[in-house]
Amino acid sequence: MPHLRSNTRGDLHVHVEVVVPTRLDHHDAELLREFKNRRSRDVAEVRSAHAAGGGLFSRLRETFTGR
């Protein structure tokens, strides 16, 4: 992202919040299953920094131990 009145570029930070419904009726659950089956090859595991549960050393330990 370009800085204002400058040719230098900086970082662009994005904060995304995803709300997952906890109660679904039968039709909605079936639609989600169908969507999952169609997109299963495009799915990547994403973990929140807040949900990681710990600081820097905990995350490093998890990374190197494969948890």
Interval 11-60: pLDDT, tens: 778 888 988 788 889 999 999 889 888 876 766 666 665 555 677 787 78
The two three-digit tokens of residue 59, written as one number: 């995350």
Q: In total, how many domains does the chain have?
A: 1
pTM higher than 0.85, yes or no?
no
Residue 43 lies in domain: 26-65
User: What is the DSSP secondary structure assignment for residue 65, as one 8-state letter?
Assistant: H
Contact between residue 56 and residue 48 where contact means Cβ atoms under 8 Å apart: no
**31 within a domain of the structure (yes/no):** yes
The two three-digit tokens of residue 30, written as one number: 């079936």
**8 within a domain of the structure (yes/no):** no
